[in-house]
Amino acid sequence: MSHIVLLGDSIFDNAAYVAEAPDVIRQVRQRLPHGSEATLEAVDGSMTQDVREQLRHLPADATHLIVSAGGNDALGSSDFLDAPARSTAEALAGLAEIAERFERDYRDMLAEVLARELPTAICTIYYPRFPDAALQRIALVGLTVFNDCIIRAAFAHGLPLLDLRFVCTEAGDYANAIEPSARGGEKIAQAIVRLVEHGFTGGRTKVFI
């Protein structure tokens, strides 16, 4: 039987945003076959580098690791969206620096996850739901550099990829602009269980949506 461990941020640790409704980990557990387990090590507010600390608490019988990290790294760089630039080239250079820093952090984090030698899957950063249309549009463009790093990491290591951009797609999937609601958590839980059932065969990257 499997023991799934969820690592990362509030995409998995969303209990604070759903009141009395079931959070992601509860919904994963409800969908697992009898005898399987799921443990939440993800912590709301965590950045990519914080996954290292979460790895210290892995259950001894863990069988699968699912990582959703990077959203808070992107949020921490959001001041860049308002920064003045003298040219498009200068703006793109600034975005490139952010991407390079994130890629280093993500690569280092993933190396530590993979060192556990357990079946591992990683998640893209889903799109926010900012009510301001102009901010939403800019945020989507900014997220492309973060998601590109994650997607290339999946391909480089032959890891299953859960593309959350195609999982949470409706307003009701969000508790606020950036956190999953109970409905969004249900969709994420369904995708996680489907991934564990079908994603770890052949050593090739499979994309789950």
- Count of Cβ atoms closer than 10 Å to residue 85 Cβ: 13
pLDDT in tens, 131-184: 999 989 988 988 999 999 999 999 999 999 999 999 999 999 999 999 999 999
| Residue type at position 91 | A
Q: Is 103 exposed, middle or buried (0-12, 13-18, 19+ CB in 10 A)?
A: middle
Task: Report, as an integer, the average pLDDT of 41-49.
Answer: 97
pTM more than 0.85:
yes
Residues 159, 118 contacting (CB under 8 angstroms): no
- SS3 of residue 161 by DSSP: strand
Domains and CATH numbers, the chain: 3-208 (3.40.50.1110)
DSSP-assigned states of every residue in 118-158 = S-EEEEPPPP---SSHHHHHHHHHHHHHHHHHHHHHHHHHT
Q: Return phi, psi of residue 59, to 5°.
A: -60, 145
Alpha carbon distance 100, 172 (integer Å): 34
DSSP 73: H
Residue 75's pLDDT band (cuts 50, 70, 90): confident
pLDDT at residue 129 tops 80: yes
Residues 64, 5 contacting (CB under 8 angstroms): yes
- SS3 of residue 207 by DSSP: strand
pLDDT in tens, 52-62: 999 999 999 99
pLDDT in tens, 78-127: 665 555 657 878 767 777 788 899 999 999 999 999 999 999 999 999 99
Residue matched to tokens 């995409």: 11
